[in-house]
Homo-oligomer: A and B are copies of this chain.
Amino acid sequence: MTERSDLTDIADGLPGSEPEGRRSADSSERAYNTIRKLLVEFKLKPEERINEMQLSRSLGISRTPIREALNRLASEGFVSLTPNRGFFVRSLSTEGLLDLYELRSIIECAAFRLMCERAEDDQLDRLRAYWEAIVEGYQDHPPDIILTEDEGFHLLIAELSGNPEIVAQLAAINARIRFIRRIQIEHRTHDKRQVASHSAIVDAAMRRDTEQGVELLRQHIEMTVSATQQALKDALLKVFAPGDDDAKPRRRRF
């Protein structure tokens, strides 16, 4: 028998970073935010089939906006759609997560390179200012804040690359790995190194030292990944996701 998640106690919330210019606060939007939250918090479990009617009842929203939200989530890789069978929660295997982190690393390093080449001095100042404004007490902030600040830092680099497609892409990736980053942050590993790492990246940017910066970024993300590995295992365990640890070890560049 297929286990079904029990969906009582559903509420809104979640800041929800918007990659593209989109809706405001209609029914469809609420559905999107709520469902994504359910996914991120494992209220909807990996591989599980999503029941539109049940969701519709739980959220008090008709199926049309729910389907709209699910389609959007499908485009973003959160769920998948099988023709006459419906939507399924896409399980992020260890391997799948590493793939995403790898892509993120590729894009961020490229963004840094472009930023060094193109950004005006005052734009680089903005980056430094952004980081200096939050570095104070960074480690004492609650996890959600840290997550937002951290994403903001990296997104700012993307913005300073001058290429909006890079920004959109990075934002989309962030949305997909956010759940695991949150878990990792709650584990509070490597805090100090994270801070130092960001500061070093800012320094390299200010000197427009492309190669140094890219290397730092690569290491930064690699560090994040390794810190995430254990968090991931915990998360998967917590949710008893199906077998997932085989993953033939493939060498990674970050």
> CB distance B163 to A103 under 8 Å?
yes
Stretch at the interface among A19-27, A142-150, A179-187, A227-235: A19-27
A37 at the interface (CB under 8 A from B): no
Q: Are A114 and B83 in contact (CB-based, < 8 A)?
A: no
List, in ascending order, chain B residues with CB within 8 A of A72's CB: 71, 75
Is A141's beta carbon under 8 Å from chain B?
A: no
Chain B residues, Cβ within 8 Å of A68: 67-68, 71
Instruction: Report whether A166 and B103 are in contact in the complex, using a CB–CB cutoff of 8 Å.
Output: yes
A253, B80: Cβ atoms under 8 Å? no
In angstroms, Cα B101 to Cα A163, docked, is 10
Contact digits for A100-120, partner B, Cβ 8 Å, 1 yes 0 no: 101100110010011001100
A42-97 interface (Cβ within 8 A of B): 64, 67-68, 71-72, 74-77, 80-83, 96
Complexed CA–CA distance, A168 and B26 (Å):
30
Please give, as numbers and ranges, the residues of chain B lying within 8 Å of A251 by CB-CB distance. 117-118
For chain A residues 167-206, which have a beta carbon within 8 Å of chain B?
168-169
Number of copies: 2
Which single residue of chain B is at the shortest CB-CB distance from A73? B75
Q: Say yes or no: is A250 at the interface (Cβ < 8 Å to chain B).
A: yes
B26 pairs with A74, CB closer than 8 A: no
Is the CB of A244 closer than 8 A to any CB of chain B?
no
Q: What would 15 more interface pairs be, CB under 8 Å, given A20-B74, A71-B71, A113-B253?
A: A21-B82, A22-B81, A24-B83, A26-B83, A68-B68, A96-B164, A96-B165, A102-B163, A102-B165, A102-B166, A103-B165, A103-B169, A117-B251, A118-B251, A162-B250
Contact sample, A vs B, 13 pairs, CB 8 Å cutoff: A20-B74, A20-B77, A68-B68, A72-B75, A75-B75, A96-B165, A99-B165, A102-B114, A102-B165, A103-B169, A113-B253, A118-B251, A169-B169
Binding site for B on A (CB under 8 A): 20-24, 26, 64, 67-68, 71-72, 74-77, 80-83, 96, 99-100, 102-103, 106-107, 110, 113-114, 117-118, 162-166, 168-169, 250-251, 253
